[in-house]
Structure formats: structure tokens, C-alpha cells
């Protein structure tokens, strides 16, 4: 089934164009919502649309994922796009478009100047959801699960954050599929989910990219290609451009650490940010850099400053992840729990002072018996040195027991080698 066969654009009761599944009255957003919230098979069973199954579902999802509704000047109920097309930019605008908004059981009602009535469970829900959902983002996730399955998607990663919560990585006219794949892998490693390509030389999508991506398929599946730089950066509020060359432009120059700090501050305010990387061979032109709000220059050897494209993205991604509260030291699996830097005792614990004193007494008694403290007047200094050395180790409870076993074996022997009493 093609996109043309899968989707029909019709007018709703208010005269607004709405994309629906062909042969039904179900809008595209309802399909995306059901398959995203219920799993694909449960969602399809709930919708019960004739001829819509796993085989025919992908064109419907693709229509939403690629935001083709914009070209059709259509939108779905509850979608952020509808709010944008209707010029609703605030909660006040939203309320004004309704005749009445009924909260919970109706004891609280908010009135406006429109004709429609809306029911919502609480004022908090209204404040959180009035602007609509990003169904196109959900559609991309469902496509990934449809193509690769949930288990495979989990093994190969999934988006680290919701859309807009991490900076977009924009590649200017990338030439090699291998480089794009390695960029996707670096992005997946460090929580950068949004990949945008400006006129990739070998076209997009490109299956050769997946080989170099080593499983970072979710980044590739949701990656978007643009014919012009303006399209790739159009929705951003703040853009940084990477460069190894000094530019004759009056723009702030930042290290990756400084740029990441700036982006985190802006993203926390609801702004969208991105970082632009240049061509493998020639980097970015001055005209392209002029679109940026700041330049990012990575500390390098001044006599050899050129970085591979994926290396540059990886360094930027590392700095991004390093400041994330959700970072992990290494992988976390069913059998591997998250760990912190430093000594991880797992099921063991540090020895108590009582246990250490027991070790000291045991060791010193055996050394005394075997004539180690000689001459006798040196005994206090030698005991002090032994206790300082063993205390500095910070042994665990298990290690103290092991050391006491070693002392006992050296002093008395064990098994066939046990010494007869003297």
C-alpha cells in the first residue's frame, strides 16, 4: 500500500482538513496513539479498521512521521500541529477557542468565546496537555518497533530523551555513509537522538549507514534529510557551529563544555538547540557559520587540529552526557546494575574497627611467638608500623577473614602440612 492509498484528507465538521486512514473515519493520530500506548498488535485490535494490519500500517505511520500533513494543510485532533495552524500559542488562546471547559465533575468550569465544550480531569491535566501531542515523534518510535521488534529495539538502543530535550546534530553535506553511521553510533552512545542531514551526497535514507552504525538504528530511522541548511535549523532557537579555523565573525567562541552549559540552560527554558558540523573535506563555509549564534572550537594540538567527523560528534556527545543525571558508567543489563565511580563493594562491606583489632592481635601474637619483635625495645614502633600499613589498606570484612586465615596457616600449617604442637 502506498501513502496515496493509505491516507485520505477530508474536512471535519468544522471545515478543517484532517488526514484519515483510507476507507475509515479514524484520523492518523488515533492510529499512532493506539499503537504507541498499547503496543502495535493491541492497538490494531483496538482500532479494528478493515485491511489495517502490520503490513499496511507503515504507510500510515510514515505519513505522520514525515509530517506530510503540513504539505496537505491538514492536522489531527489533539496534535501540536493543529494548535500551530489555528494560531493557538498559549493556554489563554486555547481556552478562548472553547465555549466551556468542564473540569472533573463540573464544579469548576472555564468559559471562553468559542462554540465547543471540552471535558478534562483536572486543571493540571489541562495545563500540561492543552498544546497537543507530538504525534509525529511517536510515529517514528512505532515505525522502529514495527521494523525491528521490541526486543531488538531494546538491544540496539532507543531514544534517550523526548524530542527537543537534547540538541540536534546537523551534518552539512556529509559525503560518506560510513561517517554518517559512525556519527549515529556516537550519538547513541551519548544520548543525542536527533540527526539531521543537509543534502547527503549519497541520498537518504541509505542502508549502507546501518553497517557502520553498529546497532544505532533508532538514530538512523528517525534521521531527517533537508535540501537546504535553512530547513534543518528552522525550528531551532539557538545554534552552535563547530570549526577548527578562526573566523572573522563577531560571535562568541566556546569550548564544548561551555556550549553544553549554554544549551542545557536554554533547553530547560523550553528552547530548541542544535550543533552544526561541517563537511569531511572542507568543513563549513563562512556563510554557513554566519547562521550560528556561537562557534564551538575543541581543544586540540594546534599543529594538527583536524578531527574526523564522528570524532568531533563523539567529543561533543561525551560532554553532553557527562553533565546528564541519567548517565551510566558502562552498560546496564538484567544482570548488571548501575555502578558509581570508586570502590564498589557489592555484597561485601568495609571491616569494622573491632574486626581490624582482632586481626592486629592475631598477627602480633603469632609474630611474638615466632620471635619477630627483636630487639624487644623496637616492638612498639614495629607494631605501630604494621597497624598503620594494614589500616591504610581499608580492607573489607572478607579480606580481614582471609588475612587471619593466612596468618593461622603460616603459623600452624593446614591439613597434611599442619605442624605438630611443640
Q: What is the 3-state secondary structure (H, E, C) of 125-149?
A: HHHHHCCCECHHHHHHHHHHHHHHC
**Helix (H, G, I), strand (E, B), or coil: what is residue 123?**
helix
Of the candidate ranges 85-99, 167-181, 212-226, 367-381, the one whose mean pLDDT is the lowest: 85-99
Specify the residue for cell string 493540571.
124
Asked if 208 and 289 sit in the same domain, the reply is: yes
Q: How confident is the model at residue 212 (pLDDT cuts 50, 70, 90)?
A: confident
Asked if 215 and 236 sit in the same domain, the reply is: yes
Residue 347 lies inside a defined structural domain of this protein = no
Helix residue spans in 234-378 (DSSP H): 256-268, 286-289, 309-322, 353-369
Segment 94-100 shows an average pLDDT of 79
From CA 323, how far away is CA 337, in angstroms rounded?
21
Helix%, strand%, coil% for the chain, nearest 5: 45, 15, 40
pLDDT tens, position by position, 311-357: 999 999 999 988 876 666 665 555 555 666 667 677 788 999 999 99
Asked if 137 and 50 sit in the same domain, the reply is: yes
Segment 378-397 shows an average pLDDT of 93
Residue after which a domain boundary falls, among 322, 343, 376: 322
Asked if 391 and 366 sit in the same domain, the reply is: yes
pLDDT(154) > 50: no
Residue 268 lies inside a defined structural domain of this protein = yes
Q: How confident is the model at residue 120 (pLDDT cuts 50, 70, 90)?
A: confident
Asked if 206 and 310 sit in the same domain, the reply is: yes
Residue 140 lies inside a defined structural domain of this protein = yes
Segment 402-417 shows an average pLDDT of 84
Residues 6+ apart with CB under 8 A from 59: 1, 2, 3, 5, 6, 7
Asked if 195 and 316 sit in the same domain, the reply is: yes
Asked if 99 and 60 sit in the same domain, the reply is: no
pLDDT tens, position by position, 262-307: 999 999 888 999 999 999 888 899 999 999 999 999 988 888 878 8
Q: How confident is the model at residue 151 (pLDDT cuts 50, 70, 90)?
A: very low
Segment 361-376 shows an average pLDDT of 92
Asked if 250 and 304 sit in the same domain, the reply is: yes
Residues 6+ apart with CB under 8 A from 256: 296, 298, 315, 316, 319
pLDDT(1) > 80: no
Instruction: Kindly state the percentage of the chain with pLDDT values over 70.
Output: 88
Instruction: Pick 420 or 237 by higher pLDDT.
Output: 237
pLDDT(155) > 50: no
Residue 144 lies inside a defined structural domain of this protein = yes
Segment 73-90 shows an average pLDDT of 83
pLDDT at residue 404, as a whole number: 93
Instruction: Pick 50 or 155 by higher pLDDT.
Output: 50
Residue 107 lies inside a defined structural domain of this protein = yes
Segment 359-372 shows an average pLDDT of 93
**Helix (H, G, I), strand (E, B), or coil: what is residue 189?**
helix
pLDDT at residue 152, as a whole number: 36
CA distances from 222 to 38, 136, 158 (A): 21, 10, 11
Asked if 22 and 170 sit in the same domain, the reply is: no
Residue 372's domain spans which residues?
353-415
Specify the residue for cell string 523550553.
270
pLDDT at residue 315, as a whole number: 95
Q: How many CA atoms lie within 13 A of 273 on its CB side?
A: 23
Of the candidate ranges 130-134, 210-214, 396-400, 403-407, the one whose mean pLDDT is the lowest: 130-134
CATH classification at residue 249: 3.40.1280.10
Q: How many domains does the chain have?
A: 4
Asked if 407 and 390 sit in the same domain, the reply is: yes
Asked if 117 and 253 sit in the same domain, the reply is: no
Residue 410 lies inside a defined structural domain of this protein = yes
Residue 327 lies inside a defined structural domain of this protein = no
Asked if 193 and 276 sit in the same domain, the reply is: yes
What is the pTM for the complete model shown? 0.52
Other Cβ atoms less than 10 A from the Cβ of 39: the count is 14
From CA 325, how far away is CA 17, in angstroms rounded?
43
C-alpha cell at 183: 556519527
Question: Quick check: 18 and 10 in contact, CB under 8 A?
Answer: yes
- Residue 188: name the closest of 209, 219, 167, 214 by CA: 219
**Radius of gyration of the CA atoms of the chain, in A:** 32
Residue 336 lies inside a defined structural domain of this protein = no
Q: How confident is the model at residue 150 (pLDDT cuts 50, 70, 90)?
A: very low
pLDDT at residue 332, as a whole number: 54
End-to-end CA distance of the chain: 94
Average confidence score pLDDT of the chain? 85
Residues β-bridged to residue 133? 79
Amino acid at each position: 500500500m502506498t501513502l496515496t492509498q493509505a491516507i485520505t484528507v477530508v474536512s471535519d465538521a468544522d471545515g478543517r482538513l484532517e488526514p484519515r486512514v483510507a476507507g475509515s473515519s479514524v484520523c492518523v493520530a488515533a492510529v499512532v496513539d493506539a499503537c504507541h500506548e498499547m503496543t502495535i498488535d493491541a492497538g490494531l485490535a483496538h482500532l479494528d479498521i478493515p485491511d489495517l494490519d502490520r503490513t499496511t500500517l507503515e504507510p500510515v505511520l510514515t505519513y505522520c512521521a514525515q509530517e506530510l500533513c503540513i504539505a496537505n494543510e491538514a492536522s489531527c485532533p489533539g496534535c501540536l500541529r493543529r494548535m500551530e495552524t489555528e494560531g493557538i500559542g498559549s493556554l489563554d488562546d486555547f481556552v478562548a477557542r472553547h465555549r466551556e471547559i468542564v473540569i472533573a465533575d463540573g464544579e469548576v468550569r472555564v468559559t471562553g468565546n468559542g462554540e465547543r465544550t471540552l471535558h478534562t480531569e483536572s486543571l493540571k491535566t489541562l495545563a500540561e496537555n492543552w498544546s497537543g501531542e507530538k504525534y509525529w515523534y511517536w510515529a517514528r518510535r512505532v515505525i522502529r518497533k514495527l521494523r525491528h521488534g521490541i526486543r531488538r529495539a531494546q538491544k540496539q538502543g532507543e531514544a534517550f530523551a523526548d524530542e527537543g530535550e537534547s540538541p540536534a546534530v546537523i551534518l552539512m553535506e556529509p559525503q560518506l555513509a560510513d561517517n554518517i553511521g559512525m556519527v549515529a553510533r556516537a550519538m547513541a552512545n551519548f544520548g543525542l537522538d536527533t540527526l539531521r542531514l543537509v543534502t547527503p551526497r549519497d541520498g537518504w535514507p541509505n542502508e549502507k549507514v546501518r553497517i557502520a552504525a553498529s546497532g544505532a538504528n533508532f538514530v538512523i530511522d528517525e534521521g531527517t534529510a533537508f535540501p537546504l541548511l535553512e530547513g534543518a535549523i528552522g525550528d531551532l532557537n539557538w545554534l552552535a557551529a563547530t570549526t577548527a579555523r578562526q573566523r572573522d565573525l563577531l560571535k562568541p567562541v566556546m569550548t564544548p563544555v561551555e556550549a553544553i552549559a549554554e544549551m542545557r540552560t536554554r533547553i530547560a527554558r523550553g528552547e530548541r538547540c542544535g550543533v552544526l558540523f561541517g563537511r569531511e573535506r572542507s568543513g563549513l563555509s563562512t556563510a554557513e557559520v554566519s547562521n550560528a549564534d556561537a562557534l564551538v572550537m575543541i581543544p586540540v594540538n594546534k599543529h594538527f587540529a583536524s578531527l574526523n567527523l564522528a570524532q568531533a560528534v563523539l567529543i561533543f556527545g561525551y560532554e553532553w552526557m557527562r553533565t546528564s543525571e541519567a548517565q551510566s558508567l558502562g552498560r546496564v543489563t538484567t544482570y548488571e546494575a548501575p555502578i558509581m565511580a570508586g570502590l564498589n563493594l557489592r555484597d561485601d562491606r568495609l571491616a569494622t574497627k573491632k574486626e581490624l583489632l582482632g586481626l592486629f592481635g592475631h598477627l602480633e601474637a603469632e609474630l611474638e611467638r615466632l620471635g619477630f619483635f627483636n630487639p624487644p625495645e623496637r616492638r612498639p614502633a614495629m607494631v605501630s608500623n604494621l597497624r598503620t600499613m594494614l589500616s591504610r589498606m581499608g580492607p573489607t570484612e572478607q579480606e580481614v577473614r582471609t588475612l587471619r586465615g593466612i596468618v593461622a596457616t603460616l603459623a600452624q600449617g593446614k591439613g597434611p602440612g599442619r605442624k605438630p604442637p611443640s
